[in-house]
Amino acid sequence: MAVERTLSIIKPDATSRNLTGAINARLEQEGLRIVAQKRLRLTKAQAEEFYGVHRDKAFFDSFCEHMTSAPVVVQVLVGENAVAENRRIMGATNPANAEIGTIRRDFGQSVEHNAVHGSDSPENAEIEIGFFFGRMEIVG
């Protein structure tokens, strides 16, 4: 195993329900370190670019609308095997299918309103971190 970085987003459904601290506590309890974090409101163009891989999916427009509906908290997480670890801590995409004790099971409301985003590979993590953060904003 190697120490990795991953990009996490606390989504509008979670920030608007005041769950930022509760989600951060889960991440930290599970051993991930938050080494960069900021709250921002995504523009439509930013959401569509960030989630561009899903452009052709039926849910794309509705999902991008949700992602711009309220602030998000974007963060860089560091730890052993952080990409897969964060995916495990998050739980399955659909909260109804997520394991008990995962963030999505406990804080997600639907597949669209599922509380958090996490990078799906170390390669994509580096691309996604670069989308939001400059080198001087990441303090390990």
Per CB under 6 A, residues contacting ligand ADP are 54, 59, 63, 93, 111-112, 114, 117, 120
Number of alpha helices (DSSP H) and beta strands (DSSP E) in the chain: 7, 4
Virtual CA dihedral for 89, 92, 96, 99, nearest 10 degrees? Answer: -40
CA distance 20 to 35: 15
Catalytic, 117? Answer yes
24 binds, among ligand ADP, Mg ion, none (CB under 5 to 8 A by kind): none
CA distance 127 to 95: 26
- x/- map, 83-122, Mg ion, by CB under 5 A: -------------------------------------x--
Interacting residues with Mg ion (CB under 5 A): 120
- Residues with catalytic function: 117
